[in-house]
Structure formats: structure tokens, C-alpha cells
Amino acid sequence: MAEVETVRELRISGRRLRVAVRAGQGRPLLMCNGIGARLELLAPFLDRLDPAIPVIRFDVPGIGGSELPRVPYNFATLACLLGEVLDELGYGETDVLGISWGGGLAQQFAFQHPRRCRRLVLVATATGSLMIPAHPRVLSKMITPRRYRDPAHAAAIAPTIYGGRLRAEPGLAEEILYSHAGHAPGLGYALQLLAGAGWSSLPFLPMIRQPTLILAGADDPIVPVINAKIMHRLMPRSTLHIYPDGHLGLVTRADDLGPRVAGFLRPVLGETPPK
């Protein structure tokens, strides 16, 4: 039976932050979403994740139901804000999952708060400004949040930017992106772009000592798979799994990746986490 999830508003640093908490047993999983995405986007993955695992999801400031910040933020200040969220919810230590843009935030949190992050899951993400970049035609389509506002546009560009299953089923983009868009991000999206400008985890990746599961799509136009291989070589306690899908594989392959992540977070006694 699935555990109960509640959506609430927290006042963090004087601003409203929308947070969803799924009850469970033991250490929670803090999930950091991709750019422009509300917390609902990862619901299909959450449905396939062991229901006994508590889960914390949130809307980044300026996205979904979270207020715009008073001043622009960066990954370091946002990692501090997440620490305040955990304090408010009464959690000391957490596991952290980050996808795409949220993978950068997850790396920053693990480095900045090593005693609060036990295990790390990085999905379809890279090292920030110092990475093997996507093709310019892909990047040009990521500059604006139009795909969250216009379902026809989302379907039209999905094969190009997301790859994987969406090459054959571009209509899924409407279901995955547009149906969860709520009010479409504008300034909040720009602030997320600004937060990642000039940031890179490359200098500190070898210092991230938490066991880390790196998940990467073999057909990911936004984050070419070579980036995951580089991260794996630099992170001393990492495991790499390449799945046959694209950038949104955490959603489109939730049946496979949900149990895989759960097995990594809570391996059976004496069992090696999946590779």
C-alpha cells in the first residue's frame, strides 16, 4: 500500500516554498527536479519507487507553487535553502536524487553538506559549464520554457531535445511536460539558467565520497552520455548504469529505474547494489 503524501507550503528565508512529503520509514529521499519543472513531473517515477521510502519533493523558487526569491540564487545558496527545508521537516540526514539541472544541485548539496547526504543518485546530468555540451540546435531549444506552455511545440521538439522513447512517441511530451506545467515558468526559469551559469562540479567531484549511482541515457541529446562516463571516472565511489532511452528516461523507463534506484538506496543485507 502506498504511503500518504502531503503537499504543504513552508516559509523558508521569508519566502513560500511548495514541498511534497511522502511518509515512509527511515531515511528520506530528497528529489531535485530539472529546469522549469514542477514537482509533479517525477510522479511516474515516484509511483515505481518502493513506497516504504519517504520522499521529499519541492518546487524551486520561482517555479510552480514556490515564490520568486528576493534576489537571484546560485547552487550554493540553494543547497543552503535545502538544508533549511530538512531542518523544518525534522530530518538530519537524507539520500539525494537529482535529474538534469537538479543533478547539479544534488552534486552541490552532497559536496557542501557531506554529513547530511548519505547516498547520491545522479540522472541525466553532468558537471555544469565544464562538460561535453549538447549540439547547438538542442541548446537553442532549451533557452525558453515554451515547451511547458505549448503542447504542440513540446511534441514538435521532443525528438530533437529528449531523444530515446520520445523519438518514436513525441506525443508523450505533452503528457510528461505540458500536463504538469501549471502556470508556465518565466522569470523563475531565467533564474534557474542564471544559477547554472559558470558553475561546475568538475573541481570537487573527486571529493564527493558518498556512494553514488549515475544513471545516463544512451540517447540523450541534452546531456551526451560521455559526460556520465567522465563523472564515473572522477567519483571514487560511483556506479554507472546506462539505460536505452533518452533524457527523460527516469519517467519513460520508471518501471525499470524505480526499482533500480530503490535497490541502490536500500540494498538487501549482504546484496551488492545493482550496477
Active site residues: 100
67: how many CB neighbours lie within 10 A of its CB? Answer: 17
Q: Which residue has the cell 538506496?
A: 265
Residues 6+ away with beta carbon under 8 Å from 260: 213, 215, 241, 274
Angle at Cα 133 formed by Cα 131 and Cα 139, nearest 5°?
135
E strand residue ranges, the chain: 5-12, 15-22, 29-32, 55-58, 94-99, 117-123, 212-217, 238-243
d(CA 199, CA 203): 10
d(CA 106, CA 98): 5
E strand residue ranges, 38-186: 55-58, 94-99, 117-123
Q: How far is CA 189 from CA 86, 186, 193, in A?
A: 24, 5, 6
E strand residue ranges, 24-113: 29-32, 55-58, 94-99
Residues 6+ away with beta carbon under 8 Å from 127: 107, 200, 201, 202, 205, 227, 230, 231
Q: Is residue 37 a contact partner of residue 180, using CB atoms and an 8 Å limit?
A: yes
Amino acid occupying residue 142:
M
